[in-house]
Amino acid sequence: MAQFFAYITYKDGVADDAALELVSAAKKLSADSVIAIVTGSGSKLDTVCNNMTASYKEVWKIDNAALAYPNAEAVRKALVNVLPAGSIVLIPHETFGIDLGPGLSIKMDSAYVSDAVDFEGMAGTTIKIIRQEFGGQVSTHVTCDTSKGAVITVRPGVFQPDESKSAGGKVVDKSGSAGDLSVSRKYLELVAAQVGDVDITKSDVLVSIGRGIEDVENIEIANQLAKAMGADVSCSRPIVDAKWLEKSRQVGTSGQTVKPKVYMAMGISGSFQHVGGIKGNPFIVAVNKNPKAPIFQVADIGIVANILEFMPVLTEKITGA
Amino acid sequence: MEILVCIKRVPDTAENEITVNKTGSDIERDDLVYSVNEWDNYAVEEAIQIIDKAGGNVTVVTVGEDDSEEVLRREMAMGANNGLLLKDDAFKGSDGKGVAAILTAAVKKGKYDLIFTGAQADAGGAEVGGMLAAMLDVPYASLVNKIEILNDKTLKVGREIEGGNQEMSEISMPCVLSIQTGINEPRYVGIRGIRKVASVEIPVMSASDLGVAAGAVGDAGAKVKRVDYFVPALGEGAEMLEGSTEEIAIKLIELLKAKGGLK
Ligand SMILES: Cc1cc2nc3c(=O)[nH]c(=O)nc-3n(C[C@H](O)[C@H](O)[C@H](O)COP(=O)(O)OP(=O)(O)OC[C@H]3O[C@@H](n4cnc5c(N)ncnc54)[C@H](O)[C@@H]3O)c2cc1C
């Protein structure tokens, strides 16, 4: 059987939640053993490697100054040199995994499947995987021929983290095999996201608007409702892309992570990148004209309606009450 | 500067509800409205803005059927100079790698300084750009939301990462960049613009024109295959409020009061 690997992403010496989710993901594929692979440099790398031995029997460490910042090009080169041919590599599907995974699969000459949300097992060398298309509106089964290995990115948050921490594993230093890590894309710096007028991460109640708002002029309707409720207005990404609201109001993986008590999703379809920014298990009310919109799967209360008609009525009932 | 932008014709999710057909073999395609993939529009706009400053040409390319011509024309109406359709029965059923292999062959037929793709398309793969770069052995950056030309060999690019933070890098050309939405404001295309390019000849290239071995792409070459479409059985799901708009509003207000949603 092919050897499974889980690529561990981390920040400031702390592994991302995905690190333990990948343990569960690999178990679902009945992998005999999965080896964690961690790249970086210095003491933070060591901290992560040591912590991972609780969850993985074997942790491969690749320490190199060129990996101090996780530059996907350098990481790819290191992995290609270190991983045995035919390996099955699991990587979290976030901005780093998107940068690393496709090219890695080409250089490993293996198959690539992105954004797996579930596994339905392995028969011979074929893995059956569940994915989603059209922003989560439909799901698909895909088969992946892993006879020459595979790179699979796994959606964060869909597998339960394996908290058993009973692996009692060991760190194996593979730094010597990393090879030449020179890059043609040189990392310069991080530019922090802009701070806006309202800090939606502190709001208790959010009236959040999506593409269903249809026109910049309709935002006033949401403002009115928010005012009546004592809420702040947040939004999905397309509203920011259209420059209708500031980036600091965007909820989601590439925006803010909010923790309100009540979240009103108005004309938002419910893509995982959007829902990924809603934490703390709030009471979610979704209003959408499509009864099959994925947002209804995560909402507590659903209303099938045109938000442009529904919001003014709700505002009126609140202020009149 | 010669820029190639890879685009795709997709069902427009802003215009359609996507449902699964009776047998689960496909999505329901009757009455679907198609358009160019949202991310690709930003990629084409960015390419046009670059040549407006630096000079050169923008070519839009797609792997598709005859009906994909309409999205090529739409992007030409935006300002792309050339279109190119890669079409062959042998391309059908390609996985991401197959599409990247076909595009790689097309890239090698030309001479491009920059190649753009959208960050992702309808299947949410976010993979073709990265594969294409690796096949061409040129540098790659995904989710690009800023491009600055430093000199004729180097760009400064920003990648949008978690939390809306931006990772700045220097990258040498030729390179492949996958473009994230929000990098610019794509221009509006009117009927007039479309009409202007309606009769422009769009070259078509087949597997043999490209020198792509038929077995390497399409269904025959695919290691990853979609078996079916389905809608997962709902877990708990939302409690749906029904009634007249007024009735629903009143019910909702009670619920919101209980949950601290009204101040
Ligand atoms: C790397 C990456 C990061 C991303 N990060 C984020 C992020 O941080 N946040 C984010 O939001 N997105 C993010 N996205 C984009 C995400 O994939 C979706 O494209 C986006 O969330 C869709 O926004 P939406 O729900 O408003 O629009 P759509 O998906 O277009 O949904 C609009 C919804 O409104 C409904 N509707 C339309 N008109 C009406 C009406 N009049 N009344 C009622 N309902 C109506 C429709 O039925 C539909 O369900 C990211 C994408 C990528 C690739």
Query: What is d(CA B85, CA B87) in angstroms, rounded to the nearest whole number?
Result: 6
Q: Are residues A26 and A70 in the same domain?
A: yes
Query: What is d(CA B117, CA B39) in angstroms, rounded to the nearest whole number?
Result: 8
Query: Does B245 contact A231 at a Cβ distance shorter than 8 Å?
Result: no
Per-residue pLDDT, averaged over A292-318, amounts to 97
With respect to residue B16, please indicate whether it lies within any of the assigned structural domains.
Answer: yes
Q: How many residues does chain A have?
A: 321
Which of the 8 DSSP states describes residue B149? E
B50-102 pLDDT, tens digit each? 999 999 999 999 999 999 999 999 999 999 999 999 999 999 999 999 999 99
Domain boundary among A142, A177, A212: A177
Residue B209 neighbours by CB under 8 Å, 6+ apart: none
The structure tokens listed for A7 are 């690529």
Asked, as a colleague might, if the bond just before B174 is cis with ω within 30 of 0, I would say yes
Query: Does B240 contact A302 at a Cβ distance shorter than 8 Å?
Result: yes
Give the chain B residue nearest A212 (alpha carbons): B14
Query: What is d(CA B133, CA B118) in angstroms, rounded to the nearest whole number?
Result: 14
Q: Which residues of A touch B143 (CB under 8 A)?
A: 95, 98-99
Q: Around Cβ A172, how many Cβ atoms within 10 Å?
A: 12
Contact B154, B91 (CB under 8 A): no
A25 three-state secondary structure: helix
In the beta sheet, which residues pair with residue B22? Answer: none
**Structural domain for A23, as ranges:** 4-177
- CA A237 to chain B, closest CA, distance in angstroms equals 9
With respect to residue A67, please indicate whether it lies within any of the assigned structural domains.
Answer: yes
Q: Are residues A238 and A97 in the same domain?
A: no
Domain boundary among A124, A142, A177: A177
The structure tokens listed for B35 are 């358009």
Q: Are residues A169 and A267 in the same domain?
A: no
Query: What is d(CA B188, CA B197) in angstroms, rounded to the nearest whole number?
Result: 15
With respect to residue A259, please indicate whether it lies within any of the assigned structural domains.
Answer: yes
Q: Is A256 in the pocket of ligand 1 (CB under 6 A)?
A: no
In the beta sheet, which residues pair with residue A132? Answer: A139
With respect to residue A195, please indicate whether it lies within any of the assigned structural domains.
Answer: no
For ligand 1, atom 38, which residue shows the shortest CA distance?
A212
Q: Are residues A142 and A46 in the same domain?
A: yes
The structure tokens listed for A175 are 């730094």
With respect to residue B61, please indicate whether it lies within any of the assigned structural domains.
Answer: yes
Compute the mean pLDDT over every residue in chain B, rounded to the nearest whole number. 96
Q: Is A44 in the pocket of ligand 1 (CB under 6 A)?
A: no
Query: What is d(CA A231, CA B53) in angstroms, rounded to the nearest whole number?
Result: 44
Q: Which residues of A touch B238 (CB under 8 A)?
A: 284, 286, 296-302
Which residue shows structure tokens 């996201």? A193
Q: Which residues of B touch A303 (CB under 8 A)?
A: 240-241, 248, 252
Give me the pLDDT at residue B170, please: 98
Percent of chain A with pLDDT strictly greater than 70: 100
**Which of B128, B230, B255, B256 to substitute to test the interface with A, most A CBs within 10 Å?**
B256
Query: Does B122 contact A133 at a Cβ distance shorter than 8 Å?
Result: yes
**Structural domain for B12, as ranges:** 2-221
Q: Are residues A91 and A228 in the same domain?
A: no
Residue B151 neighbours by CB under 8 Å, 6+ apart: none
Report strand pairing: A150-154 vs B140-151: unpaired
CATH of the domain at A37: 3.40.50.620
Q: Is B119 in the pocket of ligand 1 (CB under 6 A)?
A: yes
With respect to residue B159, please indicate whether it lies within any of the assigned structural domains.
Answer: yes
Q: Which residues of A touch B17 (CB under 8 A)?
A: 137, 290, 292
Q: Which residues of A touch B176 (CB under 8 A)?
A: none
Residue type present at position A169: G
Contact A286, A314 (CB under 8 A): no
With respect to residue A183, please indicate whether it lies within any of the assigned structural domains.
Answer: no
Q: Around Cβ B192, how many Cβ atoms within 10 Å?
A: 8
Q: Which residues of A touch B123 (CB under 8 A)?
A: 131, 133
Q: Are residues A160 and A277 in the same domain?
A: no
Give me the pLDDT at residue B236, please: 74
With respect to residue B240, please indicate whether it lies within any of the assigned structural domains.
Answer: no
Q: Which residues of A touch B23 (CB under 8 A)?
A: none
With respect to residue A185, please indicate whether it lies within any of the assigned structural domains.
Answer: no
CATH of the domain at B58: 3.40.50.620
Tally of helices (H runs) and strands (E runs) in chain B: 8, 13
Is residue B23 less than 8 Å (CB to CB) from chain A? no
In the beta sheet, which residues pair with residue A145? Answer: A126
Q: Are residues A131 and A244 in the same domain?
A: no
A260 three-state secondary structure: coil
Using the atom order of ligand 1, give the atom closest to the CA of residue A209: 26
Q: Are residues A212 and A248 in the same domain?
A: yes
Query: Does B134 contact A106 at a Cβ distance shorter than 8 Å?
Result: yes
- Say whether pLDDT at A235 is over 70: yes
Q: Which secondary-structure segment (H or E) carries A68? A: none
Which residue shows structure tokens 């993901």? A25
Residues 104-163 of B with CB under 8 A from A: 119, 122-131, 133-135, 138-143, 156, 158-163
With respect to residue B227, please indicate whether it lies within any of the assigned structural domains.
Answer: no
Tell me the DSSP string of A190-201. Answer: EEPPPP-SS-GG
- Say whether pLDDT at B234 is over 90: no
Q: Are residues A211 and A163 in the same domain?
A: no
Per-residue pLDDT, averaged over A273-295, amounts to 96
With respect to residue A182, please indicate whether it lies within any of the assigned structural domains.
Answer: no
How many domains in chain A?
2
CATH of the domain at A214: 3.40.50.1220
With respect to residue A249, please indicate whether it lies within any of the assigned structural domains.
Answer: yes
Which of the 8 DSSP states describes residue B122? T
Query: Does A292 contact B17 at a Cβ distance shorter than 8 Å?
Result: yes
Q: Are residues A11 and A154 in the same domain?
A: yes
Query: What is d(CA B257, CA B263) in angstroms, rounded to the nearest whole number?
Result: 8
Q: Around Cβ A194, how many Cβ atoms within 10 Å?
A: 10
How many domains in chain B?
1
A26-56 pLDDT, tens digit each? 999 977 789 999 999 999 999 999 999 999 9
Give the chain B residue nearest A271 (alpha carbons): B124
pTM for the complete prediction? 0.97
Give me the pLDDT at residue B16, please: 86
Which residue shows structure tokens 């202007």? B196
Q: Are residues A166 and A283 in the same domain?
A: no
Question: Could you tell me the distance, in angstroms and rounded to a whole number, from the CA of residue A268 to the centre of ligand 1?
Answer: 5
Ligand 1 mutation target, pool B143, B159, B167, most atoms within 8 A of CB: B143
B161-204 pLDDT, tens digit each? 999 999 999 999 999 999 999 999 999 998 899 999 999 999 99
A163-220 pLDDT, tens digit each? 999 999 999 999 999 999 999 999 999 999 988 889 999 999 999 999 999 999 999 9
With respect to residue B248, please indicate whether it lies within any of the assigned structural domains.
Answer: no
Strand (E) positions, chain A? 4-7, 10-11, 14-15, 34-40, 58-63, 88-92, 111-116, 118-123, 126-133, 138-145, 150-154, 170-173, 185-191, 205-209, 232-235, 262-266, 283-288, 301-304
Question: Could you tell me the distance, in angstroms and rounded to a whole number, from the CA of residue A300 to the centre of ligand 1?
Answer: 19
Helix axes A219-229, A307-320, angle to 10 degrees: 30
ipTM of this complex: 0.96
Contact A297, B235 (CB under 8 A): yes
- CA B200 to chain A, closest CA, distance in angstroms equals 31
- Say whether pLDDT at A321 is over 70: no
- CA B205 to chain A, closest CA, distance in angstroms equals 24
Residue type present at position A67: L
With respect to residue B75, please indicate whether it lies within any of the assigned structural domains.
Answer: yes
Question: Could you tell me the distance, in angstroms and rounded to a whole number, from the CA of residue A24 to the centre of ligand 1?
Answer: 29
**Which of A11, A17, A105 to substitute to test the interface with B, most B CBs within 10 Å?**
A105
Compute the mean pLDDT over every residue in chain A, rounded to the nearest whole number. 96
Report strand pairing: B175-179 vs B140-151: parallel
With respect to residue B235, please indicate whether it lies within any of the assigned structural domains.
Answer: no
